Amino acid sequence: MRAKYTFSTLRYIYDPLTLEFVNVGIAIYSPDTKQLYAKCTQRYSRISKLFLSFDGMRLRQTLRFIQDELNDIGADMISSLEFNRASSLHEILNSVLPSDDSSLQFIKGGVGMTENLTQTVESLFGRYVEHYENGLDVVKRGDDDVWRSFRSSLDKKSVTPRLLPKRIVAKDYEYEFQRSWKNGVWHLFEPVSFDLADMTAITEKANRWVGRAVGLEDSQDRFKLVLLLGAPSDERLRGAYVKAENLLHKMPVPHEFVEESEADAFARNLAIAMEAHDANAAIG
């Protein structure tokens, strides 16, 4: 008998600020057949390649706990006549892993029809988790890594000490930029790494920056957002990176993008602008 199901992916979110994540599990539920299955990865080599420091053993134990708890609930469903058939997958998952700001979060996946739920969970696990386990020999970079590649050029021009934190406050949102300089308007320099695991992560990160810009648009401070971009090291993701830049151009605030290959020219031009600003201030 074909039955309707819903599924969710379990994400490990390494950095709450950038929301960079990796899929680590799948949960699937059919209220028609009262079946619930979960499967979580026990291989964390992929995560160690993406993120240089994390507690792998603790993560594996937590994933095993989540998987076992959900499968125990699934076993109780089948054996118990009293189980509430109206329970949604979200309610079940929330009973094991409450929705909050923790690093492990279930994300709504989708719906479908199947004749064999156990085969379907294996298929979904292969598609959303195992598919990305291979071919990740290159260590991915975070935003701080991208900043270091720019900083070497900025240090040579004695620019770095002049970059100061600036909090931009809007009506419903605020964000503190760690490196800024004022020349008529605030220039906010933000390193953004797109050297991520897959095209989905790249697209989602671009969307988050568009949303952040929307939230800051009505600030009383006049500013220009200068994103220092780190491209993917995997050439297969170059197309996703181009699309991410196209998304970023939708930010409704003045903005500029600087590639790592432009770091020296960027540092030189910024140093010239600072010298001109100082000279005009002295004259004034």
What lies within 8 Å, CB to CB, of 169 at 6+ separation is 219, 220, 221
How many of the other CB atoms lie within 10 Å of CB of 194? 24
CB 187 within 8 A of CB 154: no
pTM: predicted TM-score of the whole model, two decimal places: 0.55
Question: What is the crossing angle of helices 263-283 and 143-156, to 10°?
Answer: 60
The residue that leads in pLDDT, 156 or 57, is 156
Q: Mean pLDDT throughout 267-277? A: 94
Give the pLDDT confidence score for residue 127 in this predicted structure. Answer: 84
Rounded distance between C-alpha atoms, residue 185 and residue 209, angstroms: 20
Share of the chain above pLDDT 70, in %: 86
Q: What is the pLDDT of residues 129-141, one digit of tens each?
A: 876 555 443 346 7
Name the token pair of 134: 């291979």
Phi, psi angle pair for 2, to nearest 5°? -75, 135
Name the token pair of 180: 């800024």
Name the token pair of 172: 């419903």
Give the pLDDT confidence score for residue 133 in this predicted structure. Answer: 55
Q: What is the pLDDT of residues 225-263, one digit of tens each?
A: 999 999 998 888 899 999 999 999 999 999 999 999 999
Q: What is the pLDDT of residues 94-126, one digit of tens each?
A: 999 987 767 889 988 889 998 888 889 888 888
Q: From the DSSP assignment, how many helices (H) and strands (E) are in the chain?
A: 8, 9
Rounded distance between C-alpha atoms, residue 255 and residue 275, angstroms: 22
Name the token pair of 252: 């409704």
